Structure 1
């Protein structure tokens, strides 16, 4: 028996190759690495390996923090989808749980996440843990 939902799911995660970039700029890998170096340092300080999903999740949390708010799993997942990063909702949730367990972020009673003060300070000022 064939799964009728399979093609729809596969199409959802295909990158739109011919679609216009709509304000997105291709950034050389070396510049992207330099732009994420503060997040890489944060992950190293907390003893975590660097991964694309961790970089993007922390970047979304840092942006929300700079705007004075916290953000939930759905908000982060939506931001990643808008950046054409095909990650499942469950993957984002698991990364958030791991970052919570390691003390990088915390979850509020409203089930929204925010950077812990130590992580925030490291991203803003670059101090060593």
Structure 2
């Protein structure tokens, strides 16, 4: 059984050491779009929240901000660059499901973007 708090070599973790004791070194963690907004978006479309859905939608939002379009390979590459090890097939299936539910659209250039109705939900803060 793997316990992430213990070292993987089987030795005991030092007593009194805190997992978050170095958190101040890197500063506070900042969410680009805030997962809560994406969670509300998914809920408004009747979808459950999952890490892969959150990350896929976030990747599409980041691409849209920099006026880029992403296809399946682009989304997959973006997630790998962020250290999120998901298979290409998993990313493709999530994109297909989000399209089927109307959250995102599949464009003529084989890229994906947020559906205008979904964008309205995100911007209704």
TM norm structure 1: 0.69
The RMSD of aligned alpha carbons is 2.0
Q: Give the direction of change, closer, same or farther, for the CA distance of 1:50–1:25 in structure 2 (3 Å limit).
A: farther
Residue by residue, what CA displacement relative to the aligned partner does 1:37-80 show, whole Å, maximum 9, x if unpaired? 00000000000000000000000111122223321111110111
TM norm structure 2: 0.72
Q: Which has the higher helix share?
A: 1
What is the match of residue 104 of structure 1? 103
Give the deviation of 1:125 after TM superposition: 2.4
Task: Return the alpha-carbon distance in structure 2 between the equivalents of residues 26 and 87 of structure 1.
Answer: 26
Residue by residue, what CA displacement relative to the aligned partner does 1:70-94 show, whole Å, maximum 9, x if unpaired? 2111111011101111100000000
Aligned pairs for 1:2-81 within 5 A: 27=29, 35-81=34-80
Q: Which has the larger radius of gyration?
A: 2
Q: Is 1:117 matched up with 2:120?
A: no
Segments of structure 1 that go 5 or more residues without pairing to the other structure are 1-23
> Which structure's relative contact order is higher, taking Cα pairs within 8 Å and 6+ residues apart?
1
Task: Return the alpha-carbon distance in structure 2 between the equivalents of residues 75 and 49 of structure 1.
Answer: 24
